[in-house]
Every structure is written in C-alpha cells, then in structure tokens.
Structure 1
Amino acid sequence: MDTMQLGPWTFTPADFSINDGAQRKELEPLLIKLLLCFAREPGRIVSRQELVDTIWQQSYVDDNAINRAISELRKALQHPDLSQSPIKTHHRKGYSLQLPVPIANGKTAATVAPTVNSKRKHALAWWLAVSTAVVSAIAVVVYQFTAPAPSANNTTGADKLQVAELAIISQQKVTWFKGIESRPLVSPDKQLLAYSHSQSDGKIRVMVRKLGISAGNTLQEVALEGDDKLYSLQTWQPQSRNLLLQVVNKDGSNCEYQNYDFSQYPQYQVTRLTQCNGLVLGTAQVSADGQWLYYSKGSGGMYSSNALLAENLNSGTIQTLVAAPSAGFGVTLLALSADGSQLAYSLMPESNQPDIYLYDPSSREHRRVASLPFPLLLLALEWSPDQSSLLLPGGDAILQLNIRDKSRRLLKLPDGIKVGELSLLSDDKAYVSALTAGSTTQNAMQLVKISQPFDAANRQISFLHDAAGSALAMAVSPVDASRYAFSANWTGGWQLWLNQHGENIQLTELISNEQPINSISWSGDGRYIAFVKKGNLYLYDTQRQQLITKMENNDIGQPVWLPDDSGLVLTRIQGNSQNLWQLDLISNELSQLTFSAGSFAQYNANGQLLYHRDGKLYQYGDGAKQDIELNSSSDSNLMAIWLHQGQRQYRYSMLGHIEQHDASTGVTQQTQLPYQVLALHPDPHNPDQLYATVFVTPELALEFIQWQVATAD
C-alpha cells in the first residue's frame, strides 16, 4: 500500500487515512483528493481556481464549499508536534501545504518559506543572528567552500586535498516548528538530540528530544525556555548527558553558563556554573571531569577579538590559554574530543581565514592542524567518531581534517544540499542544519525607519519595504533627504537600488549570487555611490547613470569618502592583516594608512579620520604611535563600533539596544527596540530619525541525512 510522509503524519490515500503511530484518522474522499493535490508540490501556492479545476471539476463552486473543505483538512492535519498551521493561507493567492513530502531517491521536498511581510512578528535568532551581524559588520566577503581552495593535485601532507563526491541515500526533515531550528547536537551516548529553536514571538529556547522513538510512541520533547531570557545552546559534556547552555536576560542585565543534567530524561537538574559577560561569537565546553569550563571572551563588545579562557569551576580561577589577537574574531568554536583529551578550536585572525588548533589540557600544548587559505565563517566544528579527524561543514561541502598527518578531504554534497551545522550519529549519518553564512543573507533582513527613537511615548517604527527577499545596507543621500541607496536581494541576486521620492529603482545588474552588497557610501556632493560586493569596489555615477568597476582585488571592504570627495578610505584584508588604505580616484593609487590593524573608518564632524581596532575607537594620526585612543567598549552586549553623524555618536546591540551620545550636550540616551538590530544607519538630515537593518525570522528546519561516498579522486 503506497504511503506518503507528511511531517508527523503517514498518509495512505488508498486507505483514506493518516496515521502518526499513536492515532489513525479516516478522511472523506474530498479531503483525500485535496490533500493529494497539495502533496504533489509541497510549499507551492495552489490557487482557488486550480482547486476548483482539479478537485471539484465544475464551472462554478461556492466559496463557502472551498473554505469549509480547507478548514476541515487543516483541522484533520493538526498535531501536537506542529506549532504552525499545516495549510497556510496566502491572501488573494491561494493555499500551500507547510509539511515536507519525501520524493524519489529518498530526498525530501522542502516547504517553501513564506513571503516576507513587513507586519509579521520577528524573532531574536541566536546563532543565525550572530553570524548575520558579523558578516554584515565586517563588510568583507565570507566564502563557502566553493571559494578558491587548495589544489587537489598536490600530493603530500597538509597540502594534499582529496575530493570525494557524496551521494545522499536518505534525507528526512525531523523538525516542524515555525521559526529557525538550528545547532543540532547529539549527546555522547547517541540517545538525545538537542537543538535551538527561535520562535516568531521573539523567544529563543532549547529543545531536547529522545532519539530512537519506536512506532506507536508519541514524540516527546523537553523545552528549556523563559519569557525574559534567551537560551543559547552550547555543547554536551563528553561522556555524559550534561548539556551546557548560556542563558542571557533579554535586557542584557545578566548572563550565566548553566548545566542541565539529563541523565534521567525527561527529568533534568539545573546547576549554575558561572557568570558570563554577554554575547560572544563562539561556543563553550565543559571538560569531561566537569572541573573546567572552556570559553571565549572578548576584550569589549561584540566585535572585539576573543581570547580562549579556562575557568576552574571549583576555585573560580581563570587561565588565559590563547590571548586575543589584535584584530579579527579570535577564538570562536570549541569542541572536545569524545574522551575529553583534546580541545579543538578555531582561531579567526584579521583575514578571517580560520586556523584550526588542538589543545592538550594535560600537556598544555597547542598544535595547529590547519590554516584555511580562504575566508570562511564557521558555524560548526565536529569530531569524527574515531577521533582521528575534524569535520568543518561549509555550505555545499564538508572539509575533513586528519589530525595525525594534517591531510584534507573535501566531501562534496549533491546539488541543492547545503550544510552549515552538523552532529554525527555515525560515520555516515548526521543531523544537520542548512544554516550557513550564505543563507543568512536570504530572506532574513529588512530595513526599518525609526522616528523619535529615544522617546518611548512617541517612537514610531516602520518597515521601508514590503517585498520578498532581503535588504541589508543603506545610506541616505547627503544632499537630498528624499533619496537613499540600499542593497536588496529581490531578483535572485544582490543589487544596488535607489529609493527616490518613494519609488524603488534598480541601479545595477550584477551577476546574481549569494554574496551581498554590504557597504554603501555616498560622496559628499551626492553624485557617486560607492559600494562593495565580493570584496570588489564599485562606483555608481547617479548623473550619468553608469556603473564603474573600480577595483577587483577581492580584498576590499567598508568604503568611506574623503571629505573633499577626491578618494576613499578602504578596509583591506591582505594575508593575515586588516588595515586601512586610501584610494586616490584620479591616479587610482593606493596608500596604506594603518599598519597594526584598522577597520570601520569614518569622519567626525570636524573632518578627523576615526577608525576601530580591537573594540577601541581611535583618532588617526599616523597609523601608529600618534593615533589617539578615544573610546574603549565597557558593555559586552553592545557592538564595539561607534557610528558618528554630526555631533552624535551611536552604538547598538543585537538584543535591540541603541545608545546615542550627543557630544555638544554630553547627554547619553538609550532605548531598546522590539527587533534584533544588525546594523544602524543614521540619517544625516534628521537627528530624530534613524534607519536600521533588523533580523526577520525565516523558516529553517533540521534534517537527518545518510550518505555514501560515490567517487573519490
């Protein structure tokens, strides 16, 4: 008897039934036809007329009959494991099935994410938000494994890159909650699955599920959540069922590392381990004996470099294992081997080309096992079951690093499959998330206008656009308040757009890809718009309506116009250094401005060049000893970046905080938005108006996949 799997339901058309293992429901023939119509193409919007032609096959059908049939089918498909309606209504368009349906060769037809609506609620997505904020903040391209990689023709040692094509022999969607389901973590005994769930009402919780549910048993999950707290999933302690979480108050007032003992699942015991200093880009790990907590910590603010610390949970003493570099993210991901004898970690220097290290707690020795030759924002670091290698998922491939001989193997995934996070069940089975640095730019960001941001009684927030896709960077024309330039992915790829008197005009037709336009700067006279895409610098001449490709070095970020419009100050990443350079537009000559690190350049109201280094704001003197430190971050919840607009100075956090300091009056004001702020764009014409890039919750589920090596070179 042929069946279909519709989320938690097994659908048997010939038997007129759906079954979840615990209950069986019989459906009338009309509902069976209706369900079959939706199941052929899950996620596709089916119009009412198509339903009439396919199901009723009559020239006229009363609207009430269609409404009644949809309502009855929706009611029949409701299930405790579903937090959203199984059938979505698309206003004036039709309906779509929001459940996955397996198709040929074991793959799963995924549901289509809904069109972005500016009036929907938004969530604070922990890991996705961190990644998105970082990608947009550094304004430097983050490549997946499709970027230039070492040649596979090299023959020996660490230079050797083997390539293996993976064939997916099984793929199944395993979560159905609305929102973002990410960071799958299988417990060391392979009995529990923990994952992060960002909900559309703004909550972030952690779900813990028992694996290996037998037929007839209802799926049971434990939710770790709180109305005023964000629950960040960290790691499992080796050889135990102890789960490490970071719990942060939404207002940033308190942060703790907590241990959840699930040895008697579904019951659990909670133990507070130690305080933390707010959001960091990275994960923490408890040692196998429970004596040490390894974690990364920045010197100040979200963008400052992270050091690797080890805290003794008995005595409270803290050791610095790796000092924070002068620039870059520093230490991010941590992963203890199954026996707890080795700690793997990634070190992100200025170039954002990660180095992978092993730390031996017994000998206190650090050993570098890989230095990746291309920029990559890693979201996962996983040990192989035999502890012989590390796995680094990166979009369309998984990089496997042998820790003994440092050889590398690239496991290429089939077209259409992306993996950004994974947790192994065995050598060829894993729970995965499609969350990648590239996916953060798709349907996840929108631009908002904030009027009277620091007046809670009169503050107004409105979305600038109501379109499917993402909008990221923007800048208001310095000479015309009715014009602003912005980047958006509305046509299958990122392009530069101009909003003029309320009308959106597409300015560029660049090659469509996932790499965003993430920096925009107007010249002071309003004629030229400078922007960066894929590390290349472009100018758009608004008078001639002409695009000028200025630099194709693949190392450019954050262009800022000189006060006299004769050139630009740029952030360049070369090798393992990130510094400021000045470009002369007439001669096209580049001259280096800073020599120890520099980023996020800008000019203050007095025309002085300011820049950032390791979470501190400097006034430029000579790029070295004559530079003057102006500010250092004291709040780890705020981005360690100061934005200047006239006499006002702004900072923001991913929790929605915005801080304004008025240099003319000395007054500092703060506010908190109901959205996650990924970037802030001050209005040069109106001090009582701000623009911001905020995060919009896409739909993202976990999957279980099994593979086999198809070919190897």
Structure 2
Amino acid sequence: MAEQYWIGGFFIDLSRNQITQNKQSQIIAPKALAVLTYLAENQGKVVSQDTLLTNVWPDTVVSPNTLQRSIAQLRKALGDDSKVQIYIKTHAKQGYSLECDVRWHDKASSSKADPADIDCAGDEAVEASLVNGADYETNTTAKPESSQPGLGLMAIVLGIVFLAVMGASYLIPEQTSKLSFGELRSLTATDNKELAGIYSPDGQYVVFLRYSGEFCQNNIWAKNIDTQEESRLTENLGSYGSHSFSRDGKQLVFIESADCNKPITQKQCYKLMSFDFHKALETPQSPSLLMECKNSKIIKPKWLNNSNVALLQEFSNRWKLASYSIADNKSTVIYERQDGNIIDYDYSVADDLIALTSIHHDGHYYIEVLKPDGQVLSSHRIKYPKEIANFKLIYPNFSPVENQLVFSTGRQLFTLSYDGQVSNISLPLDEPMGSPVFHPGGKRMLVIKGHYDSDIVSVPLSRIKQAQSQNLSVLERSILGEDSAILQPDGELIAYESERSGDEQLWITGGKGSRQLSRFPMDTDINGMEWAADGTSLLVNANYALTRVYLDARQQSFPLAYPVAELFQWDSNNNSALLLVRIKGVLTLAELNLASLELRIINDKKVNWADKSESGDLVYIDDMDRFWQSGPAEDLHIEALDGQGRSERRFLVKDNVIYGVNDDFQLWSYALNGDRFELIGELPDNVDYLTDIDQTQLLMTVRVSAKKEVAELSLSE
C-alpha cells in the first residue's frame, strides 16, 4: 500500500501521520488514518461499520463509538461535519463512503499533479510543493531564454544561492521537538484507579497510588518493571498524595491528608510523611511523620539533592514554593509571587534545577527556571500555540531533551522550552493522558490514562420520598461522560455536556434523539452552563471563557481579561453572570455584567460552589463545607446545614429552596424564607451530584465507572 496519497487538495502522509492542506499540517491518530485509508481503498463504495472495525482493529474488541470518534476526527481535519458531508458520507444503518477521488502517490512516477484528476475542490499547489520540496509555480507558461549575458550570470548566482539555502535547510535542525513516541503499554490495568506514577531512581520500579472506590481511600504500591511483581507499600488505607524518592532511592516522601480534629481555618490537615522504601517492598509500612500543617495546605513534595524536601504550600489562596529541612525541622521560602501565583513546579535531579510555572500581574503565564536556593536563572512568558486555549493551566515536567519540559493537555502532548516556546510533539491520543514523567534513562515515560463514564438520570421526587430511587431512569448514556443536564425553561429540551464525540461538547436532547450543538476544539474544558430565561440559548464556560450558544448553533463570545474557572449562574434578564474567576492567579467569586463586561468582586473567601435564589440572595459553600447566605450587612452562616455539605458535590437553589446531597447520600432541602430543613430521601451511592430540579423530577449525574491506570510511552528510535 502507498504511504502517501491525495484526497482532493489534502495530502495524506501515513509515514508522518499527517494530513496537509495549504502547507498546514495536522497530526492525526494512526487508527483514524487507517480508517481513512481503508475508505480510500474502497473509494465510492459503502463500507459497513463491522468491516471497518474488523480491518482497522483486527483481533481487538472495540465499540462502534471508537469508530465514530475516528470519523469525527477525520471530518474535522477535512473540513466536514455531520451535516456537510463532502468527503466522508454517512449511510444510515449501512456504513460510510469516501466520496472524493483518490490519487495514490508512486515515488517512481511524475510528481506533478493533474488538476483534472481531482474530483473535489482541492489545492494542487500543496501536492506539488510537498513532492518537489519547493514552492509551486502557478504561472506555467514557457518563457523565452534571455539573450543578455548579465541575466544569465545572475541566474547562475541566484541558483548557487538557492542551492546554498536549500542545503543549509538540511543542516540546520528543525525548530521542533526531538521527542517522538512509539509504543504505548499499560502497566497497572486493574479494576481500581491507579495514578501518580513515578520511577524509582534506578528505574527498576514504578511507584503509584491505587485507589479503593469502596473506602474512598488509597494505598501506595510499587511494581517491578522486569518481573511485573507488585508490592503494597503502606500498611493501611489513607488519603495519600503524590510522592518522591530521595536521591539514593532509600526513602519515599509523600503527603497524607485527613479531616482536622478541631478545624480552624481549613477542614483538612496535611502531613508530610516518609518510610523506608526497601523495607516496604518486603512488608507494608506505617509511615513516619515529618511535619504537619493545620492552617495551610501542602502538596507535591520533591526530594532535593541537598536532602531538603521542596513542596508547594498555600496561605490565603496563594501558593509558595518552600524548602523543608528534615534535619533542622524548618522551612524556608524558595519562591513566591505577591502580584500573582504559582501554578506548578518540577525538579530535575540531574541538573539540580527547578522549573516553575506561574501567573504574573499581567495575567499571563510564565516559565521560571530556578536554583534550589531560589536564584532565578530565567523568566519568560509562555507563548501558547493555537492548539491550546489561552487560559489553560499547564503542568510541565523535565524531559531528556536539553532545556525542554513536557506536558499534556489531555489528548495532546507538547514540549515547553525554558524560553517559553511550545511545540506539539505527538499524535492526538485516543483518550486523555496526563502527568508525564520520564524514566531516569530518558527512553520512556509514564502517563496516567483513563476515562470517566457517567450517565444522566431522572428520578421522580415522589419515588425518592418513597425510598425507591434505586431504579433510575437513564436519559442519556454513552461509554464516556454525560454530565450537567439542565432543563429548558418552559420547554421540553434538556441541555447537557458530553464527551461522546471525543471532546467535551454541548448537546441537546428532546427525548427523541440528541444533537451536538457546539464545535469546540480538542481538549476543551467545560465548567458550567446555564439556560437563558426564554430557553433560546445557553451561556457556556468553555476553555475558561464565556460563550453564548444559540439553538441554531450561532455563538457569541464575551472577551474577559481573566480566566473563568466556573460559571455558577446566569441571569439573562439582568444580563449578569455569577462566576469564579482567576485574578492574578487567585480564585475569586465575582459577578459579571455581560453588557459592559464590568466585573464586581463579591468576596475573597475560598468558594467551592455558589448559586443565587430567585429573590437575588447569594448562597455559597466554603472550603470548610459551611453554607453562607448574603445578608444586609454581612454574609450569614446557615448553621442548620452544618454537616450537610460536601465540597465535591454541587447544590441547587430553586424557588428559594436549597437542595443538596450529604455524606450519607441523602437528598435534603432547606427553605431560605422559612429557615426549614428537611431530609427528603435516599439516593444511590454512585450519585456524583445534582444538576437540576423542578416540581416533579430531579436530574443527576451518576457514575458508571471511573478508570485510571499507569501506562508507559516508549520513545521512537
């Protein structure tokens, strides 16, 4: 089979996993290109789903959704969609066909394209430039030779210059990443969730967290890469965080969190713990306490070469990078920003350097390179390419390539140079992968991959009161996440978020089928959406920016200077939105006037969720799971709801009544006007959170499965 071919003006190069048009190349997943190639080999014929699945995924059981995601990716690359099908046509209950003529590239044949050979609207200039390695000459009319000797000499000189430039282009390295990945294999494929994978300093072990869904806690495990033998390292389940090895590989340090006995400023207390790694390989250990924080949060410990432990510590919504001396039991600040905030950091044992990402006063993201004593060696603004949303936070780690870090945005991998340059280095992945960490040898890399499968369900309120809520009515179901269903005001539609097309998108259902309403780019994050009062549009927080999406798919953007972390509520009549925004790196509750784009700061407390009642009262829950209501002079603590809130679960406010779910999965209500609390009934224990409610029914997101596993990507030779 030919490695290269044309479909219209698109040049497909299987050796590079690329589709190119007008010198603009897109990296496409190999399986998606295999689907396109099989359709190209059967151009004009209807190919059934079963045939495609059999030929593209031989000896592998995959669902039709996998094929549909590949088709969606191809259509996006070719400029098609489900409605305008110029290239790939869907035949209901039959399959797919490629409608454009295909030209297979034979390296021994002439490289010139004949425009008459191409049936679809194409760009032959792209084909010629790709094959010849030079710009295509659009004017092909023959020109007479010049009779002037000077012009001939000039032509020779220009020819020499041209050849020199062309030769230099082969000698100068391309300004792209040197990283290229090949094989992907799972290391911890079990029924549990595994995450936070790292290598031991000798590269022999992978250490990771294994999460127990039954007990909502985890243990730390190790896996011998050569023998595949697994060892549980911790004696008891706990809430353990990311971990780090001492340079000699003898000690492991990590964070453990638990509810404080007497919380003052925060609900959780954080402990820096350690144990002997080699003893733990023989017998699970009870870790030793190094340091405890009751009024600040600590995360992400990294053992430094000087035997101190670096970690991020949060005070008053701002993070500091600190260095903790185990010998002296004392911490010192390595780096902090009063005019911004720290996003993330990583440490290189080999170079004894810290790479840190932060937000500065100008709202932009920067990459700083530091010495462990805090000396800043360089600071550059990160230059985001078009593939990454402007406000998306990134978490880069060191790579084996000099002066380059690596990070993931979900289904794409990138490098980040010390001077802020970002380059796409990999194929779009079939499912999200994050937390890339390189092996000490630099030839392979750990990632955490997996998916979240949830359904949208409806339960009549009468059934909950009769303790019959276990029999749920599923409204929307796929093998991926269906989420955030909300009822159309005075209508029959339900809007929801779904990943069924490969990325988070806005969908609409009326009970008789669904349709995709948005076309947001790859690796989109949706954090909140609300109907307009008239039910003709929705306000969506997609990629940390607000977009109004109409039912006819028209969109209206609202350019805001700050990233929107969460959209809580939209009052379309007063043209205002209740938001959680990131101002100079600090999450802040605010209200936005959508007409003037003026932002009013409400408070500087840590707010986990918020909503407004019909009478305009603000209700929010803080990081200690306490409910508050706006009052005439100050916010009022709703003591009747103490113990009823959970930070990871949303609440609703409808008709001046708050609805929520407590730790015992009981649905409760609280009337703001009458100060009346009521337990309504029991809910299934796989309910993630409530999404909407009316007089007769409750909409919820229920978890079907949540899968994470540690996998390993090998570098291509």
TM over 0.5: yes
Cα distance change, pair 220–613 in 1 and its aligned pair in 2 (3 A): closer
Alpha-carbon deviation of 1:296?
3.1
Alpha-carbon deviation of 1:447?
3.5
Cα distance change, pair 172–683 in 1 and its aligned pair in 2 (3 A): closer
Identify the residue that residue 714 of structure 2 maps to in structure 1.
705
Match of 2:445 among 417, 431, 434: 431
Identify the residue that residue 546 of structure 1 maps to in structure 2.
552
| 1:260 partnered with 2:275 | yes
Residue 240 of structure 1 aligns with an amino acid whose one-letter code is G
| 1:530 partnered with 2:539 | yes
In 1: Cα distance, 2:347 partner to 2:217 partner? 29
Cα distance change, pair 556–638 in 1 and its aligned pair in 2 (3 A): closer
| 1:487 partnered with 2:497 | yes
Question: Are the equivalent residues in 2 in contact too, given 1:452–1:459 (CA < 8 A)?
Answer: no
In 2: Cα distance, 1:563 partner to 1:264 partner? 59
Percent identity reads 12
Alpha-carbon deviation of 1:399?
1.9
Show CA shifts across 1:82-129 (max 9, x none).
Answer: xxxxxxxxxxxxxxxxxxxxxxxxxxxxxxxxxxxxxxxxxxxxxxxx
| 1:164 partnered with 2:165 | no
Match of 1:468 among 457, 479, 486: 479
Show CA shifts across 1:558-602 (max 9, x none).
Answer: 557665714232657799788756455xxx553343499899774
In 1: Cα distance, 2:175 partner to 2:610 partner? 41
Question: Are the equivalent residues in 1 in contact too, given 2:507–2:518 (CA < 8 A)?
Answer: no
Show CA shifts across 1:596-636 (max 9, x none).
Answer: 98997742343146789999999899xxxx99555699999
Residue 600 of structure 2 aligns with an amino acid whose one-letter code is L
Identify the residue that residue 287 of structure 2 maps to in structure 1.
271
Cα distance change, pair 281–596 in 1 and its aligned pair in 2 (3 A): same
Alpha-carbon deviation of 1:390?
4.2
| 1:182 partnered with 2:198 | no
Where 1:375 maps in the other structure, the secondary structure is coil
Show CA shifts across 1:234-277 (max 9, x none).
Answer: 22233333223334569998764432321356225443324466
Match of 1:41 among 51, 59, 78: 59
Show CA shifts across 1:417-454 (max 9, x none).
Answer: 8752222224641232154xxx7xx6544445576999
In 1: Cα distance, 2:518 partner to 2:708 partner? 28
Cα distance change, pair 253–372 in 1 and its aligned pair in 2 (3 A): closer
TM-score (norm 1): 0.57
Cα distance change, pair 322–499 in 1 and its aligned pair in 2 (3 A): same
Identify the residue that residue 496 of structure 1 maps to in structure 2.
506
Residue 697 of structure 1 aligns with an amino acid whose one-letter code is A
Cα distance change, pair 310–199 in 1 and its aligned pair in 2 (3 A): same
Where 1:697 maps in the other structure, the secondary structure is strand
Match of 1:392 among 407, 410, 413: 407
Unaligned stretches of 5+ residues in structure 2:
1-53, 65-172, 261-266, 384-389
Residue 469 of structure 1 aligns with an amino acid whose one-letter code is L
Question: Are the equivalent residues in 2 in contact too, given 1:175–1:703 (CA < 8 A)?
Answer: no
In 1: Cα distance, 2:209 partner to 2:299 partner? 15
In 1: Cα distance, 2:666 partner to 2:382 partner? 35
Show CA shifts across 1:511-556 (max 9, x none).
Answer: 6744254422123344543334345655456xxx533312264877
Identify the residue that residue 346 of structure 2 maps to in structure 1.
335
In 1: Cα distance, 2:342 partner to 2:680 partner? 30
- Write the mapping of 1:539-688 to structure 2, written as runs, cut at 5 A: 539=548, 546-551=552-557, 553=559, 557=564, 563=571, 565-569=573-577, 571=579, 580=590, 582-583=592-593, 589-594=596-601, 602-608=611-617, 638=647, 644-649=653-658, 663=672, 664-665=674-675, 667=677, 680-685=690-695
- Write the mapping of 1:115-154 to structure 2, written as runs, cut at 5 A: none
The higher radius of gyration belongs to 2
Where 1:245 maps in the other structure, the secondary structure is strand
Where 1:266 maps in the other structure, the secondary structure is helix
In 2: Cα distance, 1:432 partner to 1:608 partner? 48
Cα distance change, pair 415–590 in 1 and its aligned pair in 2 (3 A): closer
Where 1:487 maps in the other structure, the secondary structure is strand
More RCO (CA 8 Å, sep 6+): 1
Residue 220 of structure 2 aligns with an amino acid whose one-letter code is V
Question: Are the equivalent residues in 1 in contact too, given 2:197–2:710 (CA < 8 A)?
Answer: no
Show CA shifts across 1:324-373 (max 9, x none).
Answer: 8799xx54544333179554444357998644445555x45456634424
Question: Are the equivalent residues in 2 in contact too, given 1:165–1:411 (CA < 8 A)?
Answer: no
Question: Are the equivalent residues in 1 in contact too, given 2:219–2:236 (CA < 8 A)?
Answer: no
| 1:191 partnered with 2:204 | yes
Residue 220 of structure 1 aligns with an amino acid whose one-letter code is E
Cα distance change, pair 321–166 in 1 and its aligned pair in 2 (3 A): closer
Identify the residue that residue 107 of structure 2 maps to in structure 1.
none
- Write the mapping of 1:20-419 to structure 2, written as runs, cut at 5 A: 40-44=58-62, 162-164=175-177, 166-168=179-181, 170-198=183-211, 204-211=218-225, 213=226, 218-224=227-233, 229-248=238-257, 256-264=271-279, 266-267=281-282, 269-273=285-289, 274-275=291-292, 282-288=299-305, 292=309, 294-297=311-314, 299=316, 306-310=319-323, 313=326, 330-331=341-342, 333-338=344-349, 342-347=353-358, 354-358=365-369, 360-361=371-372, 363-365=373-375, 369-373=379-383, 374-379=390-395, 381-382=397-398, 384=400, 390-394=405-409, 395-402=411-418, 406=419, 408=421, 410=423, 412-414=425-427, 416=429
Which region of structure 1 is more displaced relative to structure 2, 191-200 or 305-314?
305-314
In 1: Cα distance, 2:183 partner to 2:246 partner? 29
Show CA shifts across 1:372-414 (max 9, x none).
Answer: 244333355236598x654434453332434xxx464636124
TM-score (norm 2): 0.57
Residue 246 of structure 2 aligns with an amino acid whose one-letter code is Q
What value does the CA root-mean-square deviation take over the aligned residues?
5.5
Question: Are the equivalent residues in 1 in contact too, given 2:194–2:709 (CA < 8 A)?
Answer: yes
Unaligned stretches of 5+ residues in structure 1:
1-35, 47-159, 709-713
Count of paired positions:
526
In 1: Cα distance, 2:666 partner to 2:303 partner? 31
In 1: Cα distance, 2:448 partner to 2:681 partner? 34
Cα distance change, pair 408–206 in 1 and its aligned pair in 2 (3 A): same
Cα distance change, pair 564–465 in 1 and its aligned pair in 2 (3 A): closer
